[in-house]
């Protein structure tokens, strides 16, 4: 099967290229502001971060891009609230 490729553009050098799913990372946060995808520009090496809407999230996850769900980190069960330890 053909590997999914995604069209992307670099705001730094204005290069346009296609990236394999492995070259992209998707981060899904609790809000739109913390939901974005990142890649490294193959032309100039810049780290590019772009907001990801629902459509893009669907595309990227469907194409096998590694996804980091940021909001689950906040919901992870932590240690119980600390009470002063009894001696």
Contact window for Zn ion (CB under 5 A) among 26-34, 43-51, 56-64, 70-78: 43-51
Q: What is the DSSP string of 7-65?
A: EEE-TTT--EEEEEGGGEEEEE-SSGGG-EEEEE-TTT--EEEEE--HHHHHHHHHTT-
**Site for Zn ion contains 58 (CB under 5 A):** no
* Contacting residue, 12, 18, 66, 72, with Zn ion by CB under 5 A: 12
> Can residue 9 be called a binding residue for Zn ion (CB under 5 A)?
no
Rounded to an integer, what distance in angstroms lies between the CA atom of residue 79 and that of residue 11? 43
Smallest distance, Zn ion to C-beta of residue 55, A: 24
| Interaction site with Zn ion (CB under 5 A) | 10, 12-13, 15, 41, 43-44, 46
């Amino acid at each position: 099967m053909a590997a999914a490729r995604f069209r992307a553009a670099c705001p730094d050098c204005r290069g346009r290229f296609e990236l394999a799913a492995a070259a992209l990372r998707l981060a899904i946060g609790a809000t739109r502001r913390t939901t974005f995808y990142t890649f490294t520009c193959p032309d100039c090496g810049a780290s590019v971060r772009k907001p990801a809407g629902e459509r893009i999230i669907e595309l990227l996850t469907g194409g096998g891009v590694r996804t980091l769900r940021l909001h689950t980190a906040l919901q992870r069960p932590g240690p119980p609230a600390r009470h002063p330890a009894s001696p």
